[in-house]
Amino acid sequence: MKLFVYHTPELTPTDCLPDCAVVVDVLRATTTIATALNAGAEAVQAFKDLDELMNKSAAWLPEKRLRAGERGGQKVENCDLGNSPLDCTPKLVGGKRLFISTTNGTRALQRVEQAPTVITAAIVNRQAAVNYLLKNQPETVWIVGSGWEGSYSLEDTACAGAIAMSLLNQSSDLVGNDEVIAAIALYTQWQDNLLKMFHQCSHGQRLLKLDGDEDLKYCATIDLLDVLPIQKEPGVFIIN
């Protein structure tokens, strides 16, 4: 297994795809996807484009769907939900398909959707992602951060480092690019106080201004969920 970290989808190679892509958007898309599936959602279907989300979800009975749209950290008009994982309760999402489009995470998912295997990871389900990779040993693995509108985000790289550090504890011959080492260094610095890091990072500060304190606490809780979202068809995620 060879491991590569890319801070944003725009930084990934354009002429190839990995055997397994791990998409990370800690604040908050991949945290929300894992939480929704853990709460009993039938599936989560991700869209880069809001109009496409509306058109595809219109084919579903209203009682069998939820539309989650977020731009700039706030809920999109005419959607049922924004992008808060705390809204994904069993009572609300159980048995339903969550149709989701976010500022950053769904762009990253679209970039790698043609890879043979696509999983999503966040701080809350870090160990589930590690366990999958150790068990299946894909030859090449990309951990792709979602960033913020094409730029670097601290929290996604820290999550990549959390995954990479656990993998490197099993074998030291996994490093595919220098970003892996940088991500591990970042996570090591903050691993005992991830919430403080989230309060300092730019997107964390955006969410704080939108009263997202509880979201940050939840998103910073490591290994909270033993659930791994895996793509069963382009853009559609179920529990592995």
CB burial of residue 216 (10 Å; 0-12, 13-18, 19+): buried
For the four alpha carbons of 175, 137, 158 and 33, in that order, the dihedral sign comes to positive
Mean pLDDT of all residues in 207-227? 97
CB atoms within 10 A of CB 116: 11
Q: What is the pLDDT of residues 119-142, one digit of tens each?
A: 999 999 999 999 999 999 999 999
Q: Cα separations (Å) of 217 from 15, 39, 67, 73, 154?
A: 38, 18, 24, 16, 16
Provide the pLDDT for residue 43: 98
Provide the pLDDT for residue 185: 98
Q: What is the pLDDT of residues 93-103, one digit of tens each?
A: 999 999 999 98
Quick one: CATH architecture of 2-233?
Alpha-Beta Complex (3.90)
Provide the pLDDT for residue 55: 96
pLDDT above 90 for 234: yes
Q: What does the domain layout of the chain look like in residue ranges?
A: 2-233
Q: What is the pLDDT of residues 146-162, one digit of tens each?
A: 998 888 999 999 999 99
